[in-house]
A = this chain, B = another copy of it.
Amino acid sequence: MGVQFELEDTKFLVRDLISVQALDRGFFGSDYEGKKTVLELAPEEALYLLDVRNAECRRKNRVVSFNQAASGFKDRPKFLARYFCYRDWRDRGLIARSMNEAEGTYGRSPVVKYPSQEFECPKALFKAVYFSDDLMSIVDAEEAKILYEENWFGQWGTYKAKKHGRLLKLDAYETLFLLKHGGLKLNVKEARLVKEAVKRRSDFMALYDVYEDLRLRGFVLKTGLKFGTHFRLYFPGAKPVLGQEEWMHSKHVIHVFPREAKMLISEWARAIRVAHGVKKTFILAIPGVRKEAAAELDFLLYHRKKGEIETPKEDKPKYVMLALSEEEEIGGAELAQALSKAKQLGLDLILSICDRETSVTHYRVKRIELPKSKYEYYEIEWVQP
């Protein structure tokens, strides 16, 4: 026989003393109206106890089922997603508590530091022909090879075989960058290039902004198609050479999430999956200026410490959870806002995604510190807490 509690209006209250003590020891519920002898359970706590802990809930002395207890919440936004994400954390033997208990700054959100260096764009005084439908330009001057060899702009010859072929191919981001910073001579004007590229893909300028921001800090960005992302990233100094007879492999990939964009969680999870599958670090880039947006975080998460688990009694929370469901849409601005709230709390964000089978996947988000960069960058990693 599990614990017992009551449903009064939409509140779950524990008045049975043995149940109060058992739940308090298990870090469920909080004092009700200042009384230590009565506990109020949050809906997800009550449902968890009903679902997997064999608890009994009564309303006016009649036993109610899970659905009877849950029905009052059936129109609440992502009610089940929150519940299943909470459940998953508890099922791992870990504690999750309400956001109401958050206080001050916990200082448990270490930043990841990336190197950054001044970049002086090489002179690119070549004539290039832009193929508008292909969003690509070609330079057929032999001297342009140096742009590829020294700064890894474009592709000389053939991918992974630069001696095969005698042209420099620049993609639209490289073309625009060299037009603005290197004096490239092009058959189309900047405004027309941008206009046509935006017609093709509406997020073109967001991708370009990230490309430019990182290129100006010395990073090298190339297409990430093979890894399912917008760019792959090389740290300052990277060149397209065979170091020790081996091709230089990127270790990071970048996904650009414009603030005004909306994306299905499932599509977003897919991008992280590919990166994980090919053992790359997934970087989320949020270009543009900060905007206000609604974002509620869901739970304070306690994790593990040497051989035991962290508890609200002895420890500070380690992470803060944003619970999401597979078929939900998230906006760039909304995600940025959630990340900013987590930063204020001094906690890393855990994005927990509940799929249609109620299986939950967790992603940890770490802030990247990148001197002089204009935008926000985060590493996102799949974790099994």
Q: A267: which of B131, B164, B167, B267 is its contact (CB, 8 Å)?
A: B267
A368 beta carbon closer than 8 Å to chain B: no
Q: Which residues of B contact A326 (CB under 8 A)?
A: 223, 225
Q: B135 touching A51 by the CB < 8 A rule? A: no
A194 beta carbon closer than 8 Å to chain B: no
- Of the four ranges (under 10, 10 to 19, 20 to 34, 35 or more), the interface on chain A belongs to 35 or more
A73→B187 CA distance, assembly (Å): 13
- Say whether, besides A223-B356, A274-B228, A355-B223, A134 and B164 are in contact (CB < 8 Å): no
A184 beta carbon closer than 8 Å to chain B: no
Q: A133: which of B78, B155, B274 is its contact (CB, 8 Å)?
A: B78
Q: B225 touching A52 by the CB < 8 A rule? A: no
A318 beta carbon closer than 8 Å to chain B: no
Q: A129: which of B74, B269, B273 is its contact (CB, 8 Å)?
A: B74
A353→B178 CA distance, assembly (Å): 25
Q: Which residues of B contact A357 (CB under 8 A)?
A: 155, 159, 169, 171, 222-223
Q: Which residues of B contact A370 (CB under 8 A)?
A: none
- Say whether, besides A91-B158, A267-B267, A327 and B135 are in contact (CB < 8 Å): yes
A206→B328 CA distance, assembly (Å): 17
CB neighbors of B among A248-301 (8 A): 264, 266-267, 269-271, 273-274, 277-278
Q: Which residues of B contact A225 (CB under 8 A)?
A: 266, 269, 326, 353, 355-356, 361
A76 beta carbon closer than 8 Å to chain B: yes
Q: Which residues of B contact A66 (CB under 8 A)?
A: 138, 140, 166-167
Q: Which residues of B contact A140 (CB under 8 A)?
A: 65-67
The residue of chain B having its C-beta at the shortest distance from the C-beta of A73 within the complex is B131
A100 beta carbon closer than 8 Å to chain B: no
Query: B-facing mask of A39-83, CB < 8 A → 1, else 0?
Result: 000000000000110000000000001110011011111111100
A30 beta carbon closer than 8 Å to chain B: no
A274→B270 CA distance, assembly (Å): 7
Q: Which residues of B contact A132 (CB under 8 A)?
A: 74-75
Jot down 6 A-B pairs with beta carbons below 8 A, ordered by A: A66-B167, A74-B131, A74-B187, A75-B131, A223-B357, A230-B266
Question: Which A residues are closer than 8 A to B by beta carbons?
Answer: 51-52, 65-67, 70-71, 73-81, 91, 127, 129-136, 138-140, 155, 158-160, 164-167, 169, 171-173, 187, 200-201, 222-223, 225-230, 264, 266-267, 269-271, 273-274, 277-278, 325-329, 353, 355-359, 361
The 9 closest A-B pairs by CB, nearest first: A228-B270, A171-B356, A159-B359, A277-B277, A223-B356, A80-B134, A225-B355, A66-B140, A67-B140
